[in-house]
């Protein structure tokens, strides 16, 4: 596949397993995933990941809510390694645009992954703020768009067109809900998709015979009923 697969998570063992198997071309994390994984020391976790994964892009997110503190955090995170992308949310919790911060950091040569984007207006604002000479990732949460009952495909196609204004900006399909989303993202020419470990495992099902898959499902039901000791 032409699309790049980025593994999404904050479990070090899982990340290293994927890395050693060559199952991803990059990694993304966020504070929510870290909290769910029980991580208490943000910097220590990041440094442990970067000690092992030095040749693939990894995104770590700022977690402040005001632009000056976000900038300080971003510059610190960027200093951790040449393969680090700093995740900046498109707005803060007050719905204040982070475009001024994105413009400052991108102009300083800091690689960014601008996250939590859901509208084309936001895509345009972000792309306009990016420096043409600095690599960046524009993360559009297509899965969350779909959660609202909207088809994300037209939005993502237009987002891809907007990103073309900055040749070093890559569009990332974020929050996929099923393996089909990987093929949809590939179909429109999206550069990157984030994939959870569960979805990553399902990639091995590509082009599997459907009747064989049906039989596997029947066997699963039968084996589980047998092992549970069900009787009537």
Domain layout of the chain by residue ranges: 4-205
Mean pLDDT (the chain, rounded) = 97
pLDDT at res. 94: 98
Which pLDDT belongs to residue 215? 97
Higher pLDDT residue, 170 or 199?
170
Q: How far apart are the first and last CA of the chain?
A: 48
pLDDT exceeds cutoff 90 at 138: yes
pLDDT for the residue numbered 98: 98
Determine the average pLDDT of the residues in 62-84.
98
pLDDT at 200 over 90: no
User: Looking at 47, 54, 76, 87, which residue is catalytic?
Assistant: 87
Identify the pLDDT of residue 37: 94
Is pLDDT of 92 > 90? yes
- Mean pLDDT, rounded, for 67-76: 98
Q: Residue 194 — very low, low, confident or very high, per pLDDT cuts 50/70/90?
A: very high
Please tell me what DSSP assigns to residue 94: T
Global pTM?
0.94
CB atoms within 10 A of CB 187: 12
pLDDT at 23 over 90: no
Average pLDDT over residues 141-162: 98
Contacts of 13 (CB under 8 A, 6+ apart): none
Q: Give me the mean pLDDT over the 50-72 stretch.
A: 97
pLDDT at residue 198, rounded to an integer: 87
Q: What percent of the chain has pLDDT over 70?
A: 100
Measuring CA to CA, how many Å separate 166 from each of 86, 129, 152, 163?
18, 10, 22, 6
Q: How far is it, in rounded angstroms, from Cα 194 to Cα 175?
A: 7
- Residue 201's pLDDT is 86
Residue 10 CA: distances (Å) to CA of 14, 60, 62, 146 = 8, 10, 15, 24
What mean pLDDT is predicted for residues 80-91?
98
- Taking CA atoms, 33 is separated from 3, 11, 130, 231, in Å, by 23, 9, 26, 41
Averaged pLDDT, 124-128: 98
H helices then E strands: how many in the chain? 11, 8
Which run of H or of E encompasses 193?
A: strand 192-195
Q: Is 87 a catalytic residue?
A: yes
The matching CATH number, chosen from 3.40.50.150, 3.40.50.2300, 3.40.50.300, 3.20.20.70, for 4-205 is 3.20.20.70
Tokens of 44: 């220590």
What is the pLDDT, as a whole number, of residue 58?
98
Confidence of residue 208 (pLDDT cuts 50, 70, 90): very high
């Amino acid at each position: 596949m032409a699309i790049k697969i980025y593994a999404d998570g904050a479990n070090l063992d899982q990340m290293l397993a994927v890395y050693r198997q060559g199952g991803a071309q990059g990694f993304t994390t966020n504070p929510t995933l870290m909290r769910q994984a029980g991580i208490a020391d943000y910097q220590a976790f990041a440094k442990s990941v970067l000690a092992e994964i030095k040749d693939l892009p990894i995104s770590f997110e700022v977690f402040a809510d005001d632009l000056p503190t976000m900038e300080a955090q971003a510059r610190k995170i960027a200093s951790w390694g040449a393969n680090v992308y700093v995740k900046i949310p498109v707005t803060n919790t007050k719905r204040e645009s982070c475009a001024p911060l994105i413009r400052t950091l991108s102009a300083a040569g800091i690689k960014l992954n601008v996250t939590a984007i859901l509208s084309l207006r936001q895509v345009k604002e972000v792309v306009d703020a990016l420096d043409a000479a600095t690599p960046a990732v524009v993360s559009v949460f297509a899965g969350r768009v779909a959660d609202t009952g909207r088809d994300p495909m037209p939005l993502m196609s237009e987002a891809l067109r907007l990103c073309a204004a900055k040749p070093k900006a890559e569009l990332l399909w974020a929050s996929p809900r099923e393996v089909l989303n990987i093929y949809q993202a590939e179909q429109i020419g999206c550069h990157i998709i984030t994939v959870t470990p569960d979805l990553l495992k399902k990639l091995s099902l590509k082009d599997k015979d459907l009747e064989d898959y049906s039989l596997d499902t029947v066997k699963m039901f039968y084996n589980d009923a047998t092992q549970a000791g069900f009787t009537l």
